[in-house]
Amino acid sequence: MIERLTNAPVPPPMRERVREILEQLEAAYGVPQLHRNRNPLDTLIETVLSQSTNDRNRDRAFARLKARFPTWDAVRRASTREIAAAIRVGGLARIKSMRIKRILQEIERRTGALDLSFLCRAPLEEALGFLRSLDGVGPKTAACVLLFACGRPVFPVDTHIRRVAGRLGLIPQRCSDKRAHQQLGHLIPARHCYAAHINLIRLGRDVCRPRNPRCEVCCLIQYCAYAHETGMSSLSERRPRERRSREKAHRARARLLLSSSSPEKTYG
Ligand code: SF4
């Protein structure tokens, strides 16, 4: 059963628009599959380490932390200086070391163990609430833990997704993290949270860049408010016929994949 945090319906035209956007993304980038073999506490610490750095440095910092300390309890008991030395490669080591230590202390204090596997079974709202109540854990980090480690239907919004969604007109260009998560979590169908998350990040990194977005090669140009406002959407009408027929075939394939999808997930 798909859990929902709110039951407010998505208006049909918006639901259809989001469905088409997801089809286009899946036609362009495929349907990434979530392989769930992660420990929720590992994922939480990894996500804290990912703040303000790239994936490579996050992975290196995480690997060094795990190599330096045999258990999370050893990290909890270590000084912030020792933790910072282990994760220095990931940047902001002092802040992150304090955050990690506080999070581990708090989890131990409240649950009596350093194990978050109960979050995969708890009601979704409670699981989100627990994570959000930890110092330094925002809506994105909480959603990453529940999606990546537990496969729960939540939609993490990172900087790329926020930019793309803002330009598409799915969320206001300027809004709080909380609102971006609420609004997109409400719009993205539950079964597509993972694929939509991965594909929107890919689009944001490769095509919808912060500066000089490459609208002329973007698979979402016909749905994009920004492209429409800047006159870039006229480019989509000049595409060669062969490309259009290729896109049509891709769309048909994606529609098949999406035909088994659930109605919209809502959470707020
Ligand atoms: S059309 Fe341009 S602005 Fe719109 S999503 Fe694509 S790259 Fe971004």
pLDDT tens for each residue of 2-41: 454 555 677 788 889 999 999 999 999 999 988 877 899 9
Whether residue 243 contacts residue 173, with contact meaning beta carbons closer than 8 Å, is answered with no
Residues 94 and 181 in one domain: no
- Residue 232 located in a structural domain: yes
Q: Who contacts 116 (Cβ-Cβ below 8 Å, separation ≥6)?
A: 39, 40, 41, 44, 107, 145, 149
Q: Quick count: other Cβ atoms within 10 Å of Cβ 114?
A: 16
Q: What is the pLDDT of residue 64?
A: 97
Distance in angstroms between the alpha carbons of the first and the last residue of the chain? 18
Residues 128 and 192 in one domain: no
CB of 227 within 6 A of ligand 1: the answer is yes
Residues 61 and 82 in one domain: yes
Instruction: From 90, 122, 149, give the residue that closes a domain.
Output: 149
CATH number at residue 113: 1.10.340.30
Whether residue 252 contacts residue 20, with contact meaning beta carbons closer than 8 Å, is answered with no
Instruction: From 108, 123, 149, give the residue that closes a domain.
Output: 149
Percentage of the chain lying above the pLDDT 70 cut: 84
Q: What is the pLDDT of residue 238?
A: 52
Best residue among 18, 29, 207, 234 to mutate for probing ligand 1's pocket (most ligand atoms within 8 Å of CB) is 207
- Residue 1 located in a structural domain: no
Instruction: From 132, 149, 166, give the residue that closes a domain.
Output: 149
Question: 233 falls in which pLDDT band (50, 70, 90)?
Answer: confident
CATH number at residue 217: 1.10.1670.10
Residues 45 and 145 in one domain: yes
- Residue 49 located in a structural domain: yes
CA-nearest residue, atom 4 of ligand 1: 224
Q: What is the pLDDT of residue 6?
A: 52
Q: What is the pLDDT of residue 260?
A: 38
pLDDT tens digit string along 160-203? 999 999 999 999 989 998 999 999 999 999 999 999 999 999 99
Q: What is the pLDDT of residue 1?
A: 39
- Residue 87 located in a structural domain: yes
Residues 162 and 229 in one domain: yes
Q: How far is CA 23 from CA 49, 52, 68, 206, 250, in A?
A: 32, 31, 44, 18, 8
Active site residues: 140
- Residue 27 located in a structural domain: yes
Pick the atom of ligand 1 nearest to 226's CA: 3
- Residue 3 located in a structural domain: no
Residue type, 180: A
Q: What is the pLDDT of residue 241?
A: 53
- Residue 265 located in a structural domain: no
Residues 66 and 122 in one domain: yes
Residues 22 and 55 in one domain: no
Best residue among 22, 161, 164 to mutate for probing ligand 1's pocket (most ligand atoms within 8 Å of CB) is 164
Residue type, 52: S
pLDDT tens digit string along 122-153? 999 999 999 999 999 999 999 999 999 999 99
Residues 80 and 27 in one domain: no
Question: 242 falls in which pLDDT band (50, 70, 90)?
Answer: very low
Q: How many residues does the chain have?
A: 268
Report the chain's mean pLDDT, rounded to a whole number.
87
Residues 170 and 217 in one domain: yes
CB of 170 within 6 A of ligand 1: the answer is no
Whether residue 187 contacts residue 18, with contact meaning beta carbons closer than 8 Å, is answered with yes
> What six digits make up the tokens of 62?
């995480």
Percentage of the chain lying above the pLDDT 90 cut: 75
Residues 67 and 142 in one domain: yes
Residue range(s) defining the domain that contains residue 120? 40-149
Number of domains in the chain: 2
More confident residue, 35 or 76: 76
Q: What is the pLDDT of residue 68?
A: 97
Residues 29 and 162 in one domain: yes
CA-nearest residue, atom 8 of ligand 1: 208
Residues 129 and 179 in one domain: no
- Residue 4 located in a structural domain: no
